[in-house]
Amino acid sequence: MKRTLLIIIATILFTSCSSAVKFTSGSSSKYEDNNSEVVTVMYGKASYYGSEFDGRSTANGETFSNKEYTAAHKSLPFGSLVKVTNLANNKTVIVRINDRGPYVAGRVIDLSRKAAEDLDMIRAGVIDVKIELLK
């Protein structure tokens, strides 16, 4: 029993000391990549939320804002930080998963408009992306 408790405490201490992705203060939440470890890499199509979703509830209960750096993914845990790269121009953005979707066949992530603007994908609407789950 004591050994199990010690293992659990040690695990918590070691994982809490790992490098973290931090966000900057300012008018919008933008995350910085502080050389975070990449856990998983995925490729697929990305789209972005239309303005009609602004103010609606997300799957995790937050109020959606197109001015934040957030995204929807079908299975990644809420709160996950992912680095999304536009494969056409190599622009990147880090977003936090706070919703489920996309619900259109062939798409793997829906981005907020702010994230989509940073990736320079507004005109295209749907782009090929690399998605890196950060630890």
Q: List, for residues 55-86, the tens digit of each pLDDT value.
A: 899 999 999 999 999 999 999 999 999 999 99
- Is residue 84 within 8 Å of residue 93, measured between CB atoms? yes
Q: Which residue has the higher pLDDT, 12 or 51?
A: 51
- Domains of the chain, with CATH numbers? 21-134 (2.40.40.10)
The DSSP secondary-structure symbol of 115 reads H
DSSP 8-state symbol, 21: -
pLDDT at residue 108 is higher than 90: yes
130 class by beta-carbon count within 10 Å (0-12 exposed, 13-18 middle, 19+ buried) = middle
Of these ranges, 10-19, 52-61, 112-121, the one predicted with the greatest mean pLDDT is 112-121
pTM: 0.74
- Least Cα distance to 82 among 46, 24, 127, 134 occurs for 134
User: Closest Cα to residue 119, out of 40, 35, 46?
Assistant: 46
